[in-house]
Chain A
Amino acid sequence: MTTDSRAQIIRIAHLLEVDNSELDFLEGMDSGALRELHSQIVEVLFDTTDIKLGSLQAAAKILPPAITAKVAEKALGPVLCGRIAGSVDPPLAVSIAKRLPSEFLADVARHVHPNQIEAIISQLPISQVDRAATVLVERGDLVALGHFSGIVKDPTLKNVISSLDGSGLLDVAPFIEPKERISHLLALIDDSRLLDILRCADRDDRWVDAFDLVDRLDVSVRKRIATLVVPEIDLIGSALRAAIELDQWSSMLSFAIYATDVPQDSWSQIEGFRDKKLIAEAMASVDRNDLWDELSMLVSLWPDDLRKTFSKSIKARQRSRIGL
């Protein structure tokens, strides 16, 4: 099962407030279908048509905000606050939220409809949102943190990133929704931290998570990763071996082909591309997954010496497929 599929099952379990194991029967299902199922359940659970919202809102309007905040915290509780937050007038919701403690806001963040509360979050003081984010980081609440990271402004997002190490970022990445948002998050971090994430994947044997992360990135971030990683001989060597071992050669190629700006001798130093056994396994994967075009693009980036060596290690039929 992919990291993305696993994350989607955890998100559904979180939404239904059941143990992950209760959804074991969803294992092996495509992450796209699980993501769609999650959205469908969200729409049902967040449908506030039957809730006496009109009267609750009217009550909130006649009460001083401080009392409404107390009512929200003590009577409604985090689940209900999260469910109805998006349906309350944003200015009223903001005036209530400003008076709520960070811990409670972090509790509410577990239960909000991310698409509905962006307007509220964007109007809260950054310091308050930061404190709520810190609570989520301290709790290791990956699902809430993932949703939260999808809607907060960049300064808060930067604080969240700086409070997580490489391993923490690999943990939270699969939960960041919408999934395109992860590219934005990685664009906010510097090169050394980006390399840290991959070094952590190598050190902790988490290449499966790293490849899953790469698969979610847009071209500009893939290009940045490729430019950084290819000259790191040990790291790219490990990634190469892991890609073959995990049959993630397509993920590997999906960023390596963007390493157009690395010095040519960096490619020549990657031992894996001269290892006949490794090459045979890579070629089998290319054949199995029809990755000939991508491999052609990769080989076109190499210096002549590596192309010649590689050419000798593969079959004539394979050479002609990649124009060698």
Chain B
Amino acid sequence: MSPRPEQIKQWAEIRQRNMADFAHEQLSRLLRSELPEAIRGLDQDDAARLVVLIETSIDDQAAEIRRAERDLLTQIPLPLRGAVKRLLR
């Protein structure tokens, strides 16, 4: 028996709600705290977009740290480099 149109609509709503819950859960996990009420009201696409923007920022920062660690030694006079290298290990 094929589902009734109202059932299809209901399932779509449940699916949409679950996806939104997932994006909000991801966002909450990323921010390590409960989301402000208004942010919980974001639809799934927007919540997911916010997750991506924050994750990108975190990744960029991590890349920046790796670059800085590499560049750091080049700014240190040769006689001191060995000691600093040992500290950074």
Consensus secondary structure, chain B interface: helix
- Choose from A33, A44, A75, A79 the contact partner of B54 (Cβ within 8 Å): A44
A 15-51 contacts with B by CB, 8 A: 15-18, 22-23, 25-26, 29-30, 32-34, 36-37, 40-41, 43-45, 50-51
A74 touches B84 (CB 8 A): no
Given A44-B32, A79-B61, A80-B68, are A62 and B80 neighbors across the interface (CB < 8 Å)? yes
B46 touches A25 (CB 8 A): yes
Given A45-B57, A79-B61, A80-B68, are A71 and B88 neighbors across the interface (CB < 8 Å)? no
Residues from chain A with Cβ under 8 Å of B72 in the complex: 59, 71, 75-76
Does B69 touch A at the CB level, under 8 Å?
Answer: yes
The 8 A-B pairs at the shortest CB distance, nearest first, are namely A33-B38, A33-B36, A75-B71, A25-B46, A40-B31, A75-B72, A36-B36, A16-B57
B38 touches A29 (CB 8 A): yes
B42 touches A80 (CB 8 A): no
Q: Apart from A16-B57, A18-B53, A80-B64, what 18 extra A-B contacts exist at CB < 8 Å?
A: A22-B53, A25-B46, A29-B38, A29-B39, A33-B36, A33-B38, A37-B39, A43-B33, A44-B58, A45-B61, A62-B87, A67-B75, A67-B80, A75-B74, A75-B75, A76-B68, A77-B68, A83-B61
B88 touches A55 (CB 8 A): yes
Residues from chain B with Cβ under 8 Å of A314 in the complex: none
> Chain B, 18-34, contact with A by CB distance < 8 Å: what is the 0/1 string?
00000000000011110
CB distance from B75 to the nearest CB of A (A): 5
> Nearest chain-B residue to A29 (Cβ)?
B38
> Nearest chain-A residue to B62 (Cβ)?
A50
> Nearest chain-B residue to A63 (Cβ)?
B80
Q: Which of B35, B42, B50 has the most CB of A within 10 A?
A: B50
Residues from chain B with Cβ under 8 Å of A33 in the complex: 36-39
Does A70 touch B at the CB level, under 8 Å?
Answer: yes
> Nearest chain-A residue to B71 (Cβ)?
A75
> Nearest chain-B residue to A13 (Cβ)?
B53
B64 touches A79 (CB 8 A): yes
